[in-house]
């Protein structure tokens, strides 16, 4: 029986250094169409995920979740996005897309739905409709109905890439990955979809990445929480020239499926394999049930043995130990020497120079297991040399003992076919140090792998000895206003800077990489200097006989514009607030997709800070200022707005359950351009907006209104803009009777301040503030009659851990509209011992905490938080030790699963 590992998807898609749940103008964004069905929500979310080239990284995994009532159904990655923005409620989100970035490490998440623009963190700028911000080593880009949150080394670049995708200035992931587009369509009825663009990086040793280009999995439940029987679906994209028979499909799906495979149906269409499976709850990997023992494995190449050593901890009943050798269960002769395996005992296993061995605990009655140690013998026994011009790869055996070449499988994969080669077995009867095999015709993008030809048992046992993919180095060019053009180097191999050539408008630049650096390594940046707007830059790698272009950039202007509508005279005013000076001939102003009669070039030679342009415009038209060059295909949006979008007011009458929406603009407007959309949380936003203004009025003038009846207190009401094609896109006004997120809290030297932040003015007497369930001494009504955005209430000092709650008292049962916890002041130290796999977190100083309030988030090793304890306190000097199977990347110490107390990135 194959025992599937629940860690397959968890480990592969785990949140990286960025991932922690609930811790709290340039080019504009052309809005994604916001229609009101689920398929559009999925497309909108994934449609904002930038292509890997735009994100300057590669995605091992992309996830799409149809968000239901229980966010826990979707796994940690989705919860991390939903919780990372305080003003975002899961009920208002239709879909979440997440891309884990491997190199450079990070994560980008996008949430779409029906919500006002959240304002997390400290604002760093604006790009059109998008607000850019940073907080807690995260970067945010937020707009109406859309949120992007990124983390990692290049988090700001990731959110900027999302904005660029929205503006049409760069490609989206779905634009360049047709396989992902196909997979999402086939799995659209599954609430959780995983797409693996890099099979090799996913960590499924039973799958040969040279035969499978990509795969997708559609889950009925989060893969780490399977209960009972579920139906899951898989889409496989075989490599060119590879045909999977049913047996091979079953092997691959069994490797991917986190449950126990019970039934499977296979369909094939256009070289794509689509498998539907019925799976049952899998055996549980249960570290807590297994004896708490530290077992190390080490190899003695001279003696040809692997020794499993019980270093410390609890004894293990020998009847519950399993030894696996080269994918087969051992006869247990070595284990039979012990009744119990306890501290000081050693289990010696004789192996070939190339082998895989695993020691694990298995409880047959409970159907639970835990792997103590696994070892790949020969993992450092080969060296690789590649000649780029000759397209030749050589693998040399450097092991100390004679090895059997028949145990090896050598494959070469290109975009044309996959070849299994004779390799060492075709040239040698036995392998000795210095023996080598050569693979010819290995070009850019090709991959060569060498692995043990043994069964993949138990699952995830290591078998790959060599994996080499031919890639040119990558250099990403971007422009920083304060530094000019900066080149960032992305490759694992350090290179001589002279290998790279900079071209400016097709000609060699006067200043080259070699003038600025001797060598470049991963993450290095080279400042190339300033260039004029419109300049086209390219970087060539000159090592091949035919140099390769590996990076390019068109220098577009960085401009922050302000667009204001004067309702008195019906004119739109466009102001250049700050940024680059732009040739006016390169600018075009459009209203309603048509160029305006007056263009920037009619009034300016150059458009620079302080310049403005005034044009006549009607309410509720979309206006856009764009920059283009004759020989550049792309268009860059410098500013856009919906004219007169702020000309509505709403009033709620709780006794009558009515909302009155009033037009307060000065200019006469066309009501045919407007629709009213109503949604109650849980309804998922189904239904088209209703043309209520057009039904009540032939033309809109100041004071014209409509009244909505039977309004629920939590109902979301939107005035949306109708497009010329008959659909609805922009929301120009939003209102919710319930004052959601009406307050925020700020800690200052003289205490805590509650700040009213709702755009709708409300009576102060409608609110009360509680501290741990009791009314605070200062209440909103003590300082204000009517609350308007920005009004403050000084609350005073509170002890750490105090929970502040703002209630709206208009309903018979008051509603909680905001809560805030006073974060403790505590310092922690995190130490990881990579030899014994133990992580120790120590409270160094500061406030004493309840143990139940402290959690450890360990990424990517643990998918769920580790509690400090169920009872007692955490005081100075107290520590918590966690035993890990694999090295962590980052550790977070968190208070009540929301407030970050300490963060430690574990270095490689």
pLDDT digits (tens, 9 = 90+) for 386-395: 888 889 999 9
**Is pLDDT of 825 > 50?**
yes
Average pLDDT, integer, range 856-861? 79
Q: Poorest-confidence range of 361-370, 464-473, 630-639?
A: 630-639
For residue 776, what pLDDT band results from cuts at 50, 70 and 90? very high
**Is pLDDT of 10 > 50?**
no
DSSP 41: H
| pLDDT tens profile 593-609 | 899 999 999 999 999 99
Average pLDDT, integer, range 518-539? 91
For residue 332, what pLDDT band results from cuts at 50, 70 and 90? low
First to last CA, the chain: 36
Task: Output the pLDDT for position 861.
Answer: 63
**Is pLDDT of 4 > 70?**
no
**Is pLDDT of 678 > 60?**
yes
The whole-chain average pLDDT of the chain stands at 84
User: Cα(458)–Cα(452) distance, rounded to whole angstroms?
Assistant: 14
Task: Output the pLDDT for position 458.
Answer: 77
For residue 8, what pLDDT band results from cuts at 50, 70 and 90? very low
- 757 touches 740 (CB < 8 A): no
Instruction: State the alpha helices, DSSP H only, in 207-272.
Output: 246-256
Q: In what side-by-side order are the strands of the sheet with 418-421?
A: 418-421, 408-413, 447-452, 464-469
Task: Output the pLDDT for position 314.
Answer: 92
Task: Output the pLDDT for position 41.
Answer: 67
Task: Output the pLDDT for position 205.
Answer: 62
Q: Poorest-confidence range of 486-495, 508-517, 537-546, 663-672?
A: 486-495
User: Cα(29)–Cα(485) distance, rounded to whole angstroms?
Assistant: 23
Average pLDDT, integer, range 541-560? 89
CA-closest candidate to residue 585, choices 573, 598, 571, 602: 602
Average pLDDT, integer, range 167-190? 84
- 360 touches 320 (CB < 8 A): no
Six token digits for residue 544:
């091949």
| pLDDT tens profile 720-774 | 888 777 677 677 888 889 887 788 888 888 889 999 988 788 889 999 999 999 9
Average pLDDT, integer, range 617-623? 91
Pairing state between β 525-529 and 447-452? unpaired
**Is pLDDT of 448 > 60?**
yes
- 3 state SS for 142-199: EECCEEEEEEECCHHHHHHHHHHHHHCCCCEHHHHCHHHHHHHHHCCCCCEEEEECCC
Task: Output the pLDDT for position 30.
Answer: 29
Other beta carbons within 10 angstroms of residue 80's beta carbon come to 24
**Is pLDDT of 820 > 80?**
yes
Task: Output the pLDDT for position 67.
Answer: 82
User: Cα(580)–Cα(430) distance, rounded to whole angstroms?
Assistant: 68
**Is pLDDT of 152 > 90?**
no
384 versus 884: the higher-pLDDT residue is 384
Average pLDDT, integer, range 875-894? 86
State percent of the chain over pLDDT 90.
Answer: 38
Burial of residue 361 (number of CB atoms within 10 Å: 0-12, 13-18, 19+): buried
**Is pLDDT of 31 > 70?**
no
Average pLDDT, integer, range 385-407? 92
Six token digits for residue 361:
């605990």
Spacing of C-alpha 645 from chain mean position: 32
**Is pLDDT of 376 > 50?**
yes
**Is pLDDT of 9 > 50?**
no
Q: What's this model's pTM, rounded to 2 decimal places?
A: 0.59
For residue 34, what pLDDT band results from cuts at 50, 70 and 90? very low
Kindly provide the b/e burial profile for residues 548-585, where b requires at least 16 CB atoms within 10 angstroms of the residue's own CB.
eebbebbbbbbbbbebebebeebbbebbbeebbebbbe
User: Cα(886)–Cα(720) distance, rounded to whole angstroms?
Assistant: 50
Task: Output the pLDDT for position 199.
Answer: 77
Spacing of C-alpha 471 from chain mean position: 24
Task: Output the pLDDT for position 68.
Answer: 62
For residue 105, what pLDDT band results from cuts at 50, 70 and 90? confident
Task: Output the pLDDT for position 14.
Answer: 30
Task: Output the pLDDT for position 104.
Answer: 66
| pLDDT tens profile 263-302 | 888 888 878 999 998 887 776 777 888 898 889 988 888 8
Task: Output the pLDDT for position 755.
Answer: 92
CA-closest candidate to residue 341, choices 284, 285, 290: 290
Q: Poorest-confidence range of 8-12, 308-312, 708-712?
A: 8-12
**Is pLDDT of 72 > 60?**
no
For residue 21, what pLDDT band results from cuts at 50, 70 and 90? very low
Average pLDDT, integer, range 634-651? 86
For residue 257, what pLDDT band results from cuts at 50, 70 and 90? confident
Task: Output the pLDDT for position 91.
Answer: 78
Task: Output the pLDDT for position 585.
Answer: 94
Transcribe 625-683 into DSSP letters.
EEE--TT----EEEEEEETTTT-EEEEEETTTTEEEEEE--SS-B-GGGEEEEEE-TTS
Transcribe 569-592 into DSSP letters.
TTEEEEEEEEE--EEGGGEEEEET
């Amino acid at each position: 029986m194959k025992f599937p590992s629940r860690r397959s998807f968890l480990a592969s898609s785990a949140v990286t250094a960025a991932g922690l749940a609930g811790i709290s103008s340039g080019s504009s964004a052309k809005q994604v169409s916001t229609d009101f069905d689920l398929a559009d929500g999925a497309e909108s979310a994934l449609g904002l995920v930038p292509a890997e080239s735009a994100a300057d990284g590669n995605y091992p995994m992309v996830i799409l979740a149809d968000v239901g009532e229980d966010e826990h159904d979707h796994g940690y990655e989705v919860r991390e996005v939903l919780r990372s923005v305080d003003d975002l409620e899961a009920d208002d989100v239709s879909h979440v897309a997440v891309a884990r970035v491997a190199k450079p490490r990070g994560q980008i998440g996008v949430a779409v739905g029906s919500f006002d623009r959240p304002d997390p963190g400290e604002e760093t700028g604006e790009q059109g409709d998008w607000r850019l911000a940073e907080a807690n080593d995260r970067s945010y880009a937020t707009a109406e109905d859309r949120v992007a949150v990124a983390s990692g080394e290049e988090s700001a670049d990731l959110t900027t890439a999302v904005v660029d995708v929205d503006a049409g200035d760069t490609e989206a992931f779905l634009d360049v990955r047709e396989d992902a587009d196909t997979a999402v369509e086939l799995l659209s009825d599954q609430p959780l979809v995983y797409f693996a663009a890099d099979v090799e990086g996913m960590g499924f040793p039973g799958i040969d990445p040279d035969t499978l280009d990509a795969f997708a999995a559609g889950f009925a439940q989060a893969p780490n929480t399977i209960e009972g029987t579920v139906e899951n679906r898989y889409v496989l994209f075989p490599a060119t020239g590879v045909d999977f028979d049913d047996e091979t499909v079953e092997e691959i799906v069994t490797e991917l499926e986190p449950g126990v495979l019970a039934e499977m149906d296979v369909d094939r269409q256009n070289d794509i394999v689509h498998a539907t499976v019925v799976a049952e709850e899998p055996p549980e990997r249960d570290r807590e049930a297994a004896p708490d023992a530290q077992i190390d494995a080490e190899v003695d190449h001279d003696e040809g043995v692997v020794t499993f050593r019980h270093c410390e901890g609890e004894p293990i009943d020998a009847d519950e130990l399993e030894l696996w050798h080269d994918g087969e269960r051992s006869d247990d002769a070595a284990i039979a020497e012990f009744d119990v395996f306890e501290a000081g005992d050693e289990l010696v296993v004789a192996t070939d120079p190339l082998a895989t061995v695993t020691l694990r605990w298995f409880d047959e009655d409970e159907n639970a297991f835990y792997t103590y140690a696994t070892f790949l013998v020969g993992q450092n026994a080969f060296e690789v040399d590649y000649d780029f011009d000759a397209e030749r790869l050589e693998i040399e055996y450097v092991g100390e003992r004679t090895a059997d070449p028949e145990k090896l499988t050598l494959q070469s994969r290109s975009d044309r076919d996959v070849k299994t080669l004779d390799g060492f077995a075709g040239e040698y009867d036995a392998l000795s140090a210095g023996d080598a095999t050569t693979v010819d015709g290995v070009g850019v993008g090709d991959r060569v792998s060498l692995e043990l030809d043994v069964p993949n048992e138990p699952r995830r046992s290591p078998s790959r000895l060599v994996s080499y993919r031919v890639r040119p180095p990558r250099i990403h060019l971007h422009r920083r206003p304060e530094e000019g053009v900066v080149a960032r180097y992305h490759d694992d191999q350090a290179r001589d800077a002279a290998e790279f050539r900079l071209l400016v408008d097709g000609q060699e630049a006067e200043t080259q990489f070699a003038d600025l650096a001797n060598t470049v390594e991963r993450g290095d940046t080279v400042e190339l200097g300033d260039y004029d707007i419109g300049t086209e830059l390219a970087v060539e790698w000159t090592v091949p006989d035919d140099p390769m272009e590996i990076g390019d950039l068109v220098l577009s202007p960085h401009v922050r514009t302000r667009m204001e509508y004067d309702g008195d005279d019906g004119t739109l005013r466009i102001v250049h607030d700050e940024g680059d000076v732009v040739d006016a001939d390169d600018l075009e102003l459009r209203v309603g997709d048509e160029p305006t009669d007056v263009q920037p070039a009619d009034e300016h030679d150059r458009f620079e800070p302080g310049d403005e342009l005034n044009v006549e415009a009607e309410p509720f038209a979309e206006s856009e200022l764009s920059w283009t060059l004759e020989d550049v295909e792309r268009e860059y949006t410098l500013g856009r707005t919906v004219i007169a979008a702020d000309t509505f007011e709403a009033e709620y009458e709780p006794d009558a359950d009515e909302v009155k929406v009033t037009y307060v603009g000065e200019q006469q407007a066309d009501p045919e351009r407007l629709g009213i959309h109503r949604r109650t949380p849980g309804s998922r936003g189904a239904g088209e907006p209703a043309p209520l203004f057009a039904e009540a009025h032939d033309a809109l003038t100041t004071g014209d209104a409509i009244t909505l009846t039977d309004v629920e207190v939590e109902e979301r009401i939107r005035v949306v803009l109708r497009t010329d094609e008959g659909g609805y896109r922009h929301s120009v006004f939003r209102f919710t009777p319930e004052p959601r997120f009406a307050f925020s809290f700020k800690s200052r030297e003289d205490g805590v301040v509650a700040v009213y932040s709702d755009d709708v003015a409300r009576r102060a007497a409608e609110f009360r503030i509680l501290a741990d369930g009791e009314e605070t001494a200062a209440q909103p009504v003590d300082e204000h009659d009517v609350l308007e955005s920005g009004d403050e209430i000084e609350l005073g000092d509170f002890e750490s851990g105090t929970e502040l709650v703002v209630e709206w008292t208009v309903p018979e049962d008051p509603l909680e509209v905001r809560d805030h916890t006073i974060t403790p002041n505590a310092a922690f130290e995190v130490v990881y011992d990579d030899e014994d796999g133990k992580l120790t977190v120590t409270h160094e100083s500061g406030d004493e905490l309840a143990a139940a309030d402290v959690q450890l988030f360990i990424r990517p090793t643990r998918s769920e938080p580790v509690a400090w304890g169920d009872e007692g306190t955490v005081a100075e000097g107290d520590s918590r030790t966690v035993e890990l199977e694999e090295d962590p990347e980052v550790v977070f110490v968190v208070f009540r699963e929301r407030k970050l107390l300490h963060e430690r990135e574990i270095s490689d």
